[in-house]
């Protein structure tokens, strides 16, 4: 399969750069998007979810909280402030994020969009935990 | 004329001060390397963010409907200034330079009859500003507990600013920090973040606007701009920390050298007075023997 470049950048550092990705599935705000080589230029932002990075015989999975995605000239850039590898997941940390999200849901003046995002977050994290 | 004993004591004390400044210089040098590395690592994020925003704002056709964070509120009555300084002293002119720059700006604003609000980040800035501008300081944030500079701290400041903006507490926002040029020179900077100022306004480069947006441009932009505020603050904090260490290193290097000079001078003085005392005693003995 054709390959393209992927870079995942967090504010602190360049989290991951790869040039042999074949397909990336990202949790865009309006639903998951699969990206292959020669996708048209795209800008979107992410909701909490799991990024699937597929290269020849390896699949990497990351959890992201939020972020911005740009695809241009066969380079996919993902800017995100909170990302971690599903393999090195820390149960306590996940529990804490879930708890924070649940606290956030209890607030009265919460906007619909925020509620949607928090619900997403809890759902995704709970499914990670049960696996 | 100080006695020999006094001189000896002074020499020891200057020498131990020199040891301290030397150690501080070493520590600053080690920290500087790390801070510089961090600042460099943080650059791709803010650059990319800037790029995307540029691409997006090029596509905004109607400035009336554009997000206020991008185009401003239309008024310019209240200015918010965020002054980023360090939490520790002994770093040469680092803090004073930022404060000086900020004070100039404050004076200009007050002369124009606009009102001023200040947020200080870092305790040194608060200490220096509270006497003159105590009434204008609305918030004083310090990250003494955080060992490293992290994005969450920056996001805290960013969210605070955005919250205040949404409550229409101010119209303009400027951040003050030191930009790291090299170890010897750090340049105090004032950067306007609300409304957003394009750093490179030359539009020679025709931006590609054939992007597919999901959802639409406006929504992405209004989601992105608050993040950009935090990113800018984070960038400023990184630059600041590299500058702080660089400034401290230079200051401590100077202090060590000065202490060395002082020790030399005192040693000469000590030897002179010791010699004088010996000569005096010899003269006394000789003249005593002659008179016999």
**Tens-digit pLDDT profile for residues B96-136:** 999 999 999 999 998 988 889 999 999 999 999 998 898 88
Q: Does residue B237 share a domain with residue B104?
A: yes
CATH number for the segment(s) A4-85: 2.60.15.10
Q: Chain A to chain B, count of Cβ pairs less than 8 Å apart? A: 73
Token pair listed for B65: 């409907």
Contacts of A70 in chain B (CB under 8 A): 48, 51-52
> Which of B72-76, B123-127, B191-195, B209-213 is most confident?
B123-127
Q: What band does B225 get if pLDDT is binned at 50, 70 and 90?
A: confident
Q: Does residue B268 share a domain with residue B154?
A: no
What does chain A look like in DSSP terms, one character per residue?
Answer: ---EEEEEE-SSSEEEEEEEEEEEEEEETTEEEEE-TTPPPEEEEE-SEEEEEEETTEEEEEEESSEEEEEETTEEEEE-SSEEEGGG--HHHHHHHHHHHHHHHH-TT--HHHHHHHHHHHHHHHHHHH-
Residue B163 in contact with partner chain A when CB distance is under 8 A? no
Q: What band does A117 get if pLDDT is binned at 50, 70 and 90?
A: confident
pLDDT digits (tens, 9 = 90+) for B14-72: 999 999 999 999 999 999 999 998 888 888 888 888 888 877 777 666 666 677 787 77
Q: Which ranges constitute the DSSP H helices of chain B?
A: 4-59, 68-71, 94-111, 123-133, 151-166, 217-290
Contacts of A30 in chain B (CB under 8 A): 214-215
Is B168 domain-assigned? yes
Q: What is the mean pLDDT of chain B?
A: 87
Q: Does residue B123 share a domain with residue B13?
A: no
Alpha-carbon span B116 to B137, nearest angstrom: 9
Q: Does residue B62 share a domain with residue B123?
A: yes
The alpha carbon dihedral of B182, B199, A46, A59 has a sign of: negative
Q: Which of B245, B249, B252, B248 is nearest to B39 (CA)?
A: B245
**Does the active-site annotation cover B91?**
yes
Domain span holding position B198: 34-251
DSSP B63: T
Average pLDDT over residues B193-202: 67
Number of domains in chain B: 2
Contact A43 B56 (CB under 8 A): yes
Q: Given the structure tokens 């000590």, which residue do they identify?
A: B270
Query: What is the 3-class SS of B120-171, one letter each residue?
Result: EECHHHHHHHHHHHCCCEEEEECCCCCCCCCHHHHHHHHHHHHHHHHCCCCC
Average pLDDT over residues B273-286: 95
Alpha-carbon span A46 to A27, nearest angstrom: 6
Average pLDDT over residues A61-68: 88
What is the layout of strands, in order, in the sheet containing B137-141? B137-141, B115-121, B78-84, B172-180, B186-194
Contacts of A12 in chain B (CB under 8 A): 38, 41-42, 150-151
Q: Is the peptide bond before B287 cis (omega within 30 degrees of 0)?
A: no
Q: Which of A53, A61, A15 is nearest to A35 (CA)?
A: A53
Contact B49 A79 (CB under 8 A): yes
Is B92 domain-assigned? yes
Q: Does residue B264 share a domain with residue B150?
A: no
Q: Note whether ipTM > 0.85 here.
A: no
Q: Does residue B121 share a domain with residue B55?
A: yes
CATH (domain of B195):
3.40.1380.10
Alpha-carbon span B118 to B85, nearest angstrom: 13
Is B211 domain-assigned? yes
Contact A44 B220 (CB under 8 A): yes
Residue B205 in contact with partner chain A when CB distance is under 8 A? no
């Amino acid at each position: 399969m054709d390959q393209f470049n992927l870079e995942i950048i967090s504010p602190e550092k360049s989290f991951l750069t790869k040039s042999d990705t074949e397909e990336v599935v990202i949790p865009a705000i309006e639903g998951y998007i699969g990206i292959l080589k020669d996708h048209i230029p795209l800008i979107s932002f992410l909701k909490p979810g799991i990024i699937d990075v597929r290269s020849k015989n390896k699949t990497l999975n990351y959890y992201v909280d939020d972020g911005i995605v740009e695809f241009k000239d066969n380079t996919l850039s993902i800017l995100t402030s909170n990302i971690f590898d599903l393999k090195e997941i820390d149960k306590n940390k996940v529990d804490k994020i879930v708890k924070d999200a649940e606290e956030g849901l209890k607030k009265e003046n919460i906007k619909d969009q925020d509620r949607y995002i928090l619900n997403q977050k809890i759902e995704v994290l709970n499914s990670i935990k049960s696996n | 004329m100080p006695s020999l004993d006094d001189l000896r004591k002074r020499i020891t004390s200057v020498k131990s001060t020199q040891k301290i400044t030397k150690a501080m210089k070493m520590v600053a040098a080690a920290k500087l390397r790390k801070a510089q590395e961090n600042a460099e690592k943080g650059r791709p994020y803010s650059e990319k963010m800037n790029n995307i925003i540029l691409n997006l704002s090029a596509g905004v056709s109607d400035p009336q409907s554009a997000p206020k964070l991008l185009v401003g509120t239309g008024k310019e009555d209240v200015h918010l200034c965020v002054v980023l300084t360090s939490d520790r002293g002994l770093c040469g002119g680092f803090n004073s330079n930022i404060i000086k720059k900020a004070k100039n700006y404050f004076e200009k604003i007050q002369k124009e009859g606009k009102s001023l609000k200040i947020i200080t980040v870092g305790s040194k800035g608060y200490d220096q500003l509270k006497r003159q501008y105590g009434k204008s300081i609305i918030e004083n944030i310090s990250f003494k507990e955080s060992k490293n500079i992290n994005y969450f701290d920056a996001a805290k400041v960013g969210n605070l600013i955005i919250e205040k903006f949404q409550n229409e507490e101010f119209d303009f926002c400027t951040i003050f920090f030191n930009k790291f040029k090299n170890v010897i020179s750090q340049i105090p900077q004032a950067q306007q973040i609300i409304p957003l100022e394009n750093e490179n306004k030359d539009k020679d480069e025709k931006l590609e606007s054939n992007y597919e947006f999901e959802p639409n441009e406006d929504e992405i932009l209004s989601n992105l701009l608050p993040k950009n505020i935090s990113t800018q603050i984070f960038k400023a904090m990184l630059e600041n920390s590299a500058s702080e260490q660089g400034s401290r290193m230079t200051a401590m290097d100077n202090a060590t050298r000065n202490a060395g000079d002082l020790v030399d001078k005192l040693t000469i003085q000590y030897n002179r007075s010791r010699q004088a005392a010996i000569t005096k005693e010899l003269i006394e003995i000789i003249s005593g023997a002659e008179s016999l």
